[in-house]
Amino acid sequence: MNWVRVPAHVLAASLCVGLALGNVGRVHSVALGGSLIAATALVVAHAPVARLLCAAIFCVATGWWWASARLDALDVSPLAAYIGRAGDAIVVVTSTPRTGQFSMRAQGRVRTFAGRPIDEPVQLELPLGRSPPQGAILDVLAVVRAPTGPSHGFDQRTWLRRHGVHVVLRLDSWRQVGRRGGLGGLADRIRTRLERSIAPRLAGERRAVLDGIVLGDDTALSDRLRQDFRASGLYHILAVSGQNVVLVAAGVLALAWLLGVGRWAGEVGALAAIGAYVLAVGPQPSVIRAGVAGALASLAWLAGRMRDAWQALLLGAIALLAWNPYFVFDAGFQLSFVAVAAIFTVAPRVATRLEPLPLPRTVRLGIAVSLACSLVTAPVLWLQFGYLPILGVVANALAEPAIPVLLGLAFATAGLDLVSPPAAAVLAWLDGWVAAYVALCAHAIGSLPFAQVSSLRGLAAFGGVLLAAAYAWRRWPTS
C-alpha cells in the first residue's frame, strides 16, 4: 500500500483530522481512552500496516482530545458577565485599527476591568478620529457589549467566537499610558520599522498597495481599489504568502554570500529573518503556514535532510489547528491550504496540458498555477463570500510577474534604508511604479462588468462554460 511508504504524512494528516474533529463534538475522557487503547495496540502489533493504523488512530484520538480542551479554553469569557455595564479598563491594542463608516475597530486584550484583573481578547470599537498605534496600552472608559448576530450575510458573533473573542468593548474615551513589552512589543517594533522603511517618501495608492502586499495590511486601500482587487481575483496577493517568506530567506542567504559568511550561518540568519517577519506581519493562517514551511526548509538544510513539501504543509496545519481548532472554518486558512495543495497536485497536470502552446515555459507554469488555484479555490470563495472572480486567471497572468519584483525592491529598500536613506528613497520610487502597475491590473480587470459572478444564474452560466471547456480540454490532443 502506497500510504504505508509515507508514515510521517499519514500520522500528520491523522493528527490534523483529530484536531478538526473537535468542532464536530467535544470529547475528553473518551478521546483520551481511545488514544490509550490505540497506544496499547501499537505496542503489541507486529505487521507494519497494523502498527501504522494503530498509530494513526492514536493521533486522531489525541488530536481530538487536545482540540476539545483547547476549544473549551477559547470559549471561556469572564467579561460576558459584564455585558451591558460600563467601567474603567486597561486595554492593549493588538492590531492596527481599521476605519469604518461610523467607528474604528481593532483587536485588543483587556488586562483589568472595573478594578479586577482580567486577561481576555476583545474587539475594540473606538470613535472616529485619532487612533492609537498597535501595541499601545490604553486607560479607557468602556461599555461591554455582546457582538451582533447574523446581519446582511455576516454573523459577527460567530466570526469573533471562532477567534476567541466573545465581547465588544465600546470605548467612550481613552488615553495612552504606555506600550506593551515582551514578544508582542518586539513584534510592534519590527512592524513599525518595516512600515517606515519599505516605502520611504511614498504615499497614496502606491503606498497602500505596497503595505498590502508586503505586510498584509489593506487598511489604507480605497473602497474602490479593494473591490477591484476582489473582483479581479487579485485580492489574495494582499495576504502574505509563501512567496514573501521565500524572498525574505533568499535575501538573507544572498547577503550572507556577499559578505563571505558560511552557508550554515546564512541559514540560521534566514531562520531569524523568517521569525521576525512572521512576528511583524501577525498570526494570519497564510503567514504561519508560510513561516513553518520556510523554517522547515532551513532546518532541513542544517540537518542535511531532504525537503518535504507535503510534510511542511501538514505541520503548518497542525500548528494552526492546535492553537485554534476553529481555524478550520476560517476563509484564510481554507484558501491558503487548498491553494498550496492545488499547486502540488493540479498545477503539474495543467502545465503538461499547456506544453503544446507556443509560450515560454515560465509563462505556461504561471498560467498553470493560476488556473489550478482558481479552479480549486472557487468553491471556497463561493461558500465564504458568495462570488467568483471569473477573470482571475487573466488578472494573475498580468500581475503575478510583477509581485516578486515588488517584494524584492521593498525588502531591498528596507535594508538599504539602514545605511543610505536617499538611495532607499530612489528604490522606493521605482517600487512605487511596480505597485502602480499592480493597481492598474486590478482596476482594468476588476472594473469590467463581467469580472465576477455573484448570482446563482450567473453561476449556472459560468458552470456551463466550464463544462464546455472541460470537454474541449479532454478532446485536446496531448502529443
The pLDDT, as a whole number, for residue 479 is: 44
Q: For 348-383, how does the pLDDT look when each residue is reduced to its tens digit (9 = 90+)?
A: 888 888 887 777 877 778 888 888 888 888 888 888
Buried b (16+ CB within 10 A) or exposed e, 195-210: bebbbbebeebbbbbb
Q: How far apart are CA 245 and CA 251, in angstroms?
A: 10
N- to C-terminal Cα separation, the chain: 32
Cell numbers found for residue 114? 472595573
CATH architecture of 78-180: Beta Barrel (2.40)
Helix axes 204-215, 421-446, angle to 10 degrees: 90
pLDDT at 434: 93
- One-letter amino acid at 184 equals G
Cβ atoms of residues 125 and 104 within 8 Å: yes
Q: Which residues of the chain have pLDDT under 70?
A: 1-5, 28-47, 298-307, 455-456, 458-459, 461-463, 465-466, 469-479
Calpha distance 453→460 (Å, rounded): 10
Quick one: pLDDT at residue 1?
Answer: 44
Which residue in the block uniquely carries the three cell numbers 474541449?
472
Contact 156, 148 (CB under 8 A): yes
Coil, helix or strand at residue 463: helix
CA dihedral of residues 434, 189, 92, 90 (deg, nearest 10): -140
Strands 116-127 and 168-179: parallel
Q: Assess contact for 80 and 147: CB atoms under 8 A.
A: no
Contact 78, 167 (CB under 8 A): no
- The 3-state DSSP class for residue 359 equals coil
Grid coordinates representing 144 are: 461591554
pTM of the model: 0.83
Beta carbons within 8 Å of 100's beta carbon, 6+ residues apart: none
| Nearest C-alpha neighbor of 140 from the set 182, 87, 183, 96 | 87
Q: What is the pLDDT of residues 281-310, one digit of tens each?
A: 877 777 787 777 777 776 666 665 656 778
Domain extents for the chain? Answer: 2-74, 78-180, 191-475
